[in-house]
Amino acid sequence: MKHILKIMALLVAVAGIWISLLETSVVPRSYTWLLPVYLVVSLGCYGLLMVGVGLMLFPTCPQEASLLQKVALVIMFISDQFCAQIPAFSG
Amino acid sequence: MIISKRKRTKKKYTIIIPTYNERLNIGLVIYLVFKYLQDIDFEVIIVDDGSPDGTQDIIKQLQNVYGDDRILLQARPKKLGLGTAYYHGLKHASGDFIIIMDADLSHHPKYLPSFIRKQMETGASIVTGTRYVRNGGVHGWNLMRKLTSRGANVLAQTLLWPGVSDLTGSFRLYERTAFEDVVSSCVSKGYVFQMEMIVRASRKGYHIEEVPITFVDRVYGSSKLGGSEIVEYLKGLFYLLFTT
């Protein structure tokens, strides 16, 4: 099933619960009317929280960069030495 | 007399590396690949899109050193896109598994054995590298880039439920059949292509595993992330939302 259909089904289910809450008045109507707004705001806050937490815990690896630089320097050194020994390059 | 036949159990790996102007990096990448895959049967297919900086000359010299049965050069006349580069490499691949990686040393070849080990342990069809878990990581990203990356990731997770933590990564191992199946159904370009690959694979029910990798921003050359990339990303995200 296409993913968008799953999301639509979820939204329809939420809408169904909202309408049934409105009809049965289990919760006072003034609150029920605002339920979609609460849901959207909660989702937004959750998203921002995830971004913030992810940003704080973003894994970094500065040691990898220095290792890579060392390998690059070693290779350059070896190739310079190799070229220096070939008369065509060093002459 | 019954002579028992030994099935070929040793798997072969094809590493496809698309290149464009990677003259400074490609030699180092190949050296490191050979260093870390010493007991593995593999070949490297470099798909070069007509680099004007002489990348192909370097590759030909590498073929002299390592053998042209281990390093294959598939030259193309100009930049024709990442997806078609992989497809082009696949046509000449003889491995049971396809590994894709970048040529700019942002992907370190030392993680190649961990991809292979993970696949053997779990029998997964796809093993994808992720920068966003412990033991993985990035270096060289400023706060803006991290924020953009994290925001993009949260948006993609919320909308697509992809089942993987790193959608845009391009350091992956695919079973050959899985790769052929998924790559033929992908139409996007650039890194959205990588997103489309993994989302389509997830939708098709392939067993996907993750390994942590580190991503060091380019040793040589320049990296790209601007406003147009963000727009492309959002367009790709909504395309995937409605078509997968």
More confident residue, A74 or B90: B90
**Gap between the Cα atoms of B74 and B61, Å rounded:** 15
Considering the domain boundaries, does residue A54 fall inside one?
yes
Considering the domain boundaries, does residue A77 fall inside one?
yes
pLDDT (tens digit per residue) in B170-202: 999 999 999 999 988 888 877 788 899 999 999
Phi, psi of B99 (to 5 degrees): -115, 130
Residues of chain A with C-beta less than 8 angstroms from the C-beta of B203? 3
Flag whether residue B203 sits within 8 Å of chain A, measured between CB atoms.
Answer: yes
Mutate which: B216, B239, B243, vs A, most A CBs within 10 A:
B216
Bridge-based pairing of strands B12-19 and B41-49 is parallel
Q: What global pTM score does this model have?
A: 0.84
Among the partner-chain residues B135, B146, B241, the one whose CB lies closest to the CB of A4 is B241
Considering the domain boundaries, does residue A22 fall inside one?
yes
Q: Among A10-24, A63-77, B75-89, whose mean pLDDT is lowest?
A: A63-77
Work out how many domains chain A is built from and give that number.
1
3-class secondary-structure state, position B22: coil
Considering the domain boundaries, does residue A51 fall inside one?
yes
Range of the domain at A40: 1-85
What pLDDT, on a 0 to 100 scale, did the predictor assign at position B178? 94
B192: number of Cβ within 10 Å: 24
Cβ-Cβ pairs closer than 8 A, A with B, add up to 76
Considering the domain boundaries, does residue A15 fall inside one?
yes
Nearest one of B206, A3, B239, B151 to B198, comparing CA atoms: B206
Considering the domain boundaries, does residue A91 fall inside one?
no
When mean pLDDT is compared over A65-79, B24-38, B109-123, B181-195, the highest value belongs to B109-123
B16: number of Cβ within 10 Å: 26
Considering the domain boundaries, does residue A90 fall inside one?
no
Q: What mean pLDDT do residues B207-217 have?
A: 90
CB contact at 8 A, B233 and B158: no
